[in-house]
Amino acid sequence: MNMHKYEKWWMLFGSGTLLIFLIVVGVSAFYMGSTPPYCATTLDPENVREHDSFQELGLKQLDDNEYSLTILASAFDYDVGNPEKVIEIPKGASVSIYATTTDVIHGFEIAGTNANMMLEPGYVSTNRYTFKNAGEYTLLCNEYCGVGHHLMAATIKVVE
C-alpha cells in the first residue's frame, strides 16, 4: 500500500492541526480550569425543593467578585428566586451556577455567553462562568421538554 508524497505531507499537516486543537483545549481544561459542565452532587429527582442545595434560589455573594447562582428548572419555568425572572450580576463577577430539574431534561443556556449546560433529573449541574461583558442576556431552554419548551426564559442582566 503506497502513499503519495503529497498525501504524507497532508496527513502530517492535518494530524498536526488536530493535535494543536487537542492541546489547546486540553491545557485550557486541565490547567486553566476551563472545563465543560459537570455534576456538583446527585439528589432525589422527586424531592428537589427539599434538598439543601435548593433552599435559597437566585444570586448569592460569596466573596469579592465570587458568587453562586442557584436556579431550578421545571416544565416550563426557571425559578430564579424572584417572580420578575431577573437576575442582576455585576460585570466581571465569577459565578458558580448550580441548577437542576424537577421533571424532565431541560437546557440551561444564557444566550451569547458560554453558560450552556444540560439539566438532568437527579443531577445538579454546575460550572463556573465569569461574566466579562455587560448586557441583557436571555436564559432559555435549549433541550426539548414538551409543549411549553420555547416559553421557558429568564433575564440575566450583567451590569457595570
Partner 1 sequence: MSKVEQREQTTDPHEDVDLKGTLFGVAIVGFFILFSWFGVWALFLSR
Partner 2 sequence: MSTAIKRFPKNESRLYMAYMYVAFISLFIGATMGLVQTLERAGAITMPSFISYYQVLTVHGIILALVMTTFFIFGFMLSSQSKTTGGYNNTERNLSWLSFVVMLAGVIMASVMVFLNEATVLFTFYAPLQAHVIFYIGMALVIVGSWINGFVIFKRHARFRKENPGERTPLLSYMAVITMLMWQIASIGVAVTVVGQMIPWALGWVDSIDVLLSRTLFWYFGHPLVYFWLLPAYMMWYAVMPKIIGGKIFSDSLARFTFVLLLLFSIPVGFHHQLTEPGIPEFWKYIQVVLTMVVVVPSMMTAFSMFATFESRGRELGAKGMFGWLKKMPWKDARFLAPFVGMVFFIPGGAGGIINASNQMNQVVHNTIWVTGHFHLTVATVVILTFFGITYWLIPHLTGRAFTPVMNRLAIVQTVLWTVGMTIMSTAMHWQGLLGGPRRSAYSDYLGNADTAAWGSYQVAQAVGGSILFVGMIVMIIIFINLAFFAPKGETEYPLGEVHSLEAPAPKVFENWPLWIGLTLALVLFAYTIPLIDIIQSKPPGAQGFKLW
We find the least distance from the C-beta atom of residue 47 to partner 1, in angstroms, to be 35
**13: helix, strand or coil:** helix
Counting contacts by CB under 8 A, is residue 77 touching partner 2?
Answer: no
Question: How far is CA 124 from each of CA 37, 42, 118, rounded to the nearest angstrom?
Answer: 10, 6, 10
- Residues 19-48, one symbol each (x = binds partner 2 by CB under 8 A, - = not), give x-xx--xx-xxx---xxxxxxx-xxxxx--
Q: Using the minimum distance from each CB to partner 2, give the nearer residue, 28 or 65.
A: 28
Q: Would you give the end-to-end CA distance of the chain in angstroms? A: 63
30 binds, among partner 1, partner 2, none (CB under 5 to 8 A by kind): partner 2
Residues binding partner 1 (CB under 8 A): 2-4, 6, 9-10, 13-14, 17, 21, 24, 112-114, 132-133
Q: Using the minimum distance from each CB to partner 2, give the nearer residue, 82 or 114.
A: 114
We find the least distance from the C-beta atom of residue 56 to partner 1, in angstroms, to be 27
Counting contacts by CB under 8 A, is residue 88 touching partner 2?
Answer: no
We find the least distance from the C-beta atom of residue 140 to partner 1, in angstroms, to be 16
Q: CB pairs under 8 A, 24+ apart, for 58-65?
A: 58/82, 58/87, 59/87, 59/88, 59/89, 59/95, 62/96, 65/90, 65/92, 65/93, 65/94
